[in-house]
């Protein structure tokens, strides 16, 4: 910094000297060397001088401008201008040198202390020299606790996926087994149902009452035995009936599949912890509407020549397109046992030998 101001002073002095004539520049250089010695001598004497103020710096700049103007107008001689410039530049240099040597940056004491500790601890390019305790103290004040982002808030609704599977049967109005079951293999007659929906808690997060709604796809399969199938019987004026299969020497399989869209609305008492679903004992009662979209009877076996034969017939067989059932469900956590009984006869009035109702008991699970 001293060297910078020294050469600044030399440059200004040289400019003033050069204004006389080009031949006099060489004569001025010895005077500049003498001035340089003077500057260093005075710098040693006023090393502790106070820092310059904005006002003093402006005044010195104005004085330099006045000296140059007076010299150009011939009001002062070159020697007088040289003497005044030397004095102004000397004062400017000394004041600036004192300011920078006594300058203290605006920083908090703890920041300065940390920087000094860091410099003292890290003494080489290898980061392994940096003490582990400095890492500990550096990061221990930072809160890395993100548990609040993952805390589960009590839920009032949740999506549900269910899968149920179990036996079905035809029963009479008094809940006794229909005589048609004599020609139906109960062990192979099954109902399956897939359900997508939502459970919504009624009455706040603490309420055990939940309403389950959604849409399901169901399939009821009846497996016939005694070489029987379902068809529209001409002997009964076209009414549906279980009739023998003709034209085959051996019947291997005979089934009837009824596929439906199911729309349940079930009210549950769920004793799960607050804000959770299906985490404890739960009991449900409700209704399930259904619409039939497919009714298909099929059988296969060997014909009179011993060749394989199969036949598939798609027909409603006078069954009701729309129906509804009462539903009861008992579950523990994800496991569910569901009983369902349709409230309207499976077949239209007077289109089947008996008034039979479709019922089922299924076991499944509910995921949310």
Between CA 342 and CA 327 the distance in angstroms is 9
User: Which of 139-143, 153-157, 283-287 has the weakest average pLDDT?
Assistant: 139-143
Give per-residue pLDDT as tens, 280-312.
999 999 999 999 999 999 999 999 999 999 999
Q: What is the pLDDT of residue 304?
A: 92
Mean pLDDT, residues 216-234 taken together: 96
Q: What is the pLDDT of residue 23?
A: 42
Q: What is the pLDDT of residue 16?
A: 47
Between CA 55 and CA 200 the distance in angstroms is 77
Mean pLDDT of the chain: 79
Helix (H) or strand (E) holding 94: helix 78-101
Residues 295/319, Cβ–Cβ less than 8 Å: yes
Does position 24 have pLDDT exceeding 50, yes or no? no
Q: What is the pLDDT of residue 117?
A: 55
The number of residues making up the chain comes to 368
Helix (H) or strand (E) holding 221: strand 209-223
Residue 145's pLDDT band (boundaries 50, 70, 90)? low
Residues 275/205, Cβ–Cβ less than 8 Å: yes
Q: 308-314 and 281-303: which strand pairing?
A: antiparallel
Mean pLDDT, residues 108-130 taken together: 52
Mean pLDDT, residues 223-238 taken together: 94
Calculate what percentage of the chain has a pLDDT beyond 70: 68
Residues 215/174, Cβ–Cβ less than 8 Å: no
Token pair in block for residue 197: 């929906």
Torsion sign over Cα 235, 323, 283, 188: positive
Residues 270/207, Cβ–Cβ less than 8 Å: no
CATH architecture of the domain covering 154-367 = Beta Barrel (2.40)
Between CA 202 and CA 212 the distance in angstroms is 11
Does position 26 have pLDDT exceeding 50, yes or no? no
**Which of residues 64 and 18 earns the better pLDDT score?**
64
The residue ranges of every structural domain in the chain are 2-101, 109-149, 154-367
Residues 274/208, Cβ–Cβ less than 8 Å: no
Q: What is the pLDDT of residue 98?
A: 66
């Amino acid at each position: 910094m001293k060297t910078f101001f020294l050469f600044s002073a030399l440059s200004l002095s040289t400019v003033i000297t050069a204004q006389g004539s080009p031949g006099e520049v060489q004569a001025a250089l010895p005077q500049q060397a003498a001035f340089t010695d003077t500057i260093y001598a005075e710098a040693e004497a006023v090393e502790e001088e106070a820092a310059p103020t904005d006002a003093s710096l402006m005044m010195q700049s104005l004085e330099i401008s006045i000296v140059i103007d007076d010299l150009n107008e011939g009001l002062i001689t070159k020697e007088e201008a040289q003497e005044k410039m030397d004095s102004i530049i000397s004062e400017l240099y000394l004041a600036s040198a004192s300011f920078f040597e006594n300058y203290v940056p605006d920083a908090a004491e703890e920041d300065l202390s940390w920087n000094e500790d860091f410099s003292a601890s890290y003494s080489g390019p290898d980061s392994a020299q940096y003490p582990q305790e400095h890492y500990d103290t550096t990061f221990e004040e930072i809160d890395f606790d993100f548990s609040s982002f993952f805390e589960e808030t009590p839920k009032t609704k949740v999506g549900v996926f269910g899968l149920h599977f179990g036996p079905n049967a035809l029963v009479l109005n008094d809940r006794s087994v229909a005589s048609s079951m004599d020609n139906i293999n109960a062990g192979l007659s099954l109902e399956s149902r897939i359900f997508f929906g939502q459970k919504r808690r009624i009455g706040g997060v603490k309420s055990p009452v939940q309403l389950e709604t959604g849409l399901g796809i169901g399939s009821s399969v009846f497996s016939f035995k005694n070489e029987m199938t379902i068809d529209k019987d001409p002997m009964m004026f076209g009414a549906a009936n279980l009739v023998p299969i003709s034209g085959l020497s051996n019947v291997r399989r005979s089934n009837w599949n009824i596929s439906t869209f199911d729309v349940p609305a079930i009210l549950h008492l769920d004793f799960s912890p607050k804000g959770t679903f299906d985490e404890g004992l739960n009991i449900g009662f409700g209704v399930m509407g259904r619409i039939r979209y497919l009714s298909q009877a099929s059988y296969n076996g060997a014909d009179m020549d011993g060749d394989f034969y199969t036949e598939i017939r798609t027909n409603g067989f006078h069954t009701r397109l729309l129906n509804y059932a009462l539903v009861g469900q008992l579950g523990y956590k994800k496991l569910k046992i569901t009983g369902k009984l349709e409230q309207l006869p499976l077949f239209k009035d007077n289109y089947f030998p008996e008034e039979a109702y479709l019922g089922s008991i299924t076991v499944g699970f509910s995921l949310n």
